[in-house]
Amino acid sequence: MNSEPRGAMLFTALIALILTVLPLPTYLALVRPMFLVLTVLYWSIASPRAGGIALGFFSGLMLDVFQSPVLGEHALALSVVTYVAVREHQKIRSKPAFQQSLIVFAVLVAYESILFAIDGWTHHPITSPLRWTHTLTGAIFWAPVAAVLNATNDRRR
């Protein structure tokens, strides 16, 4: 292991960004997990020094450009998420898959709460309960996403 898997990290983040903003039919778009958040979470836990909080911040900024009324809200929320993940990465890494999913669910709820609060403060409130569905699907998708990312990570090493 001569270096951190930066290339794989950036590549998977780009793929995840594309998956996150890919236009889908309405019903699929509503249950689509935030792949980019999951990917950033994975890299923060698996390889906290490769990207760290910078990865979260800049991924969030890209998300802001694509789907945010105010620049910086995803950046802030994703910075918080990566910070928590980087701090607790050893504890999270040692947990079994199911418990990891639960942790991811909690993190995603916190993430969406931050967005919800900022949306409210900046007068773009979206109060539909549908905005929370991605937290649940994100928790469900965590295991497969982590498995796929593990594969890329292993091959790089």
Partner 1 sequence: MAFGTGASSARGGSPGFRFTIYAILSIIIMFLDQRGAYLEQIRYALNIAAYPVQLLVSSPSTAWRWVQESVATRDALRADNERLLTRNRELELRSMRYEALAHENDQLRGLKDALPPVAERWLVAEVVDIQLNSLRQRVLVNRGTRNGVFKGQAVLDDKGLLGQTTHVGPWSAEVILITDPEHAVPVQIERTGLRTIAVGTGDTASLALPYLPANADVKTGDVLMTSGLGGVFPAGYPVGRVVEVHRDAVQPLAQVRAIPFASMNIDREVMLVWFREGHPAAPVTAASGDAKAGNSGMQPQAVPPRPKPAAATATPGQPASQSTKGAAAAGQAAGAPSPGDAAAAPPAKAPPPKPATKAVQEPQDAEEGPPIEEDMAPKPEPKAAPPQAAAPQPAAPPPSTTALFARASATPTATARLP
The alpha-carbon radius of gyration of the chain (Å, integer) is 15
Between CA 10 and CA 32 the distance in angstroms is 21
CA 112-98-131 angle, 5° bins: 20
Between CA 64 and CA 71 the distance in angstroms is 5
Near partner 1 in 43-82, by CB under 8 A: 48-49, 52-54, 56-57, 60-62, 65-67, 69-73, 75-76, 79-80, 82
Q: Count residues binding partner 1 (CB under 8 A).
A: 45
User: HEC profile for 12-33?
Assistant: HHHHHHHHHHCCCCHHHHHHCC
Near partner 1 in 101-120, by CB under 8 A: 118
Whichever of 123 and 155 has its CB closer to partner 1, that residue is 123
Instruction: Print the binding letters for residues 128-147 with partner 1: x by CB under 8 A, - otherwise.
Output: x-xx----------------
- 31 binding partner 1? (CB under 8 A): no
CA 107-34-94 angle, 5° bins: 45
> Which residues contact partner 1 by CB under 8 A?
14, 17-18, 21-23, 26, 29-30, 48-49, 52-54, 56-57, 60-62, 65-67, 69-73, 75-76, 79-80, 82-83, 86-87, 89-90, 118, 122-124, 126, 128, 130-131
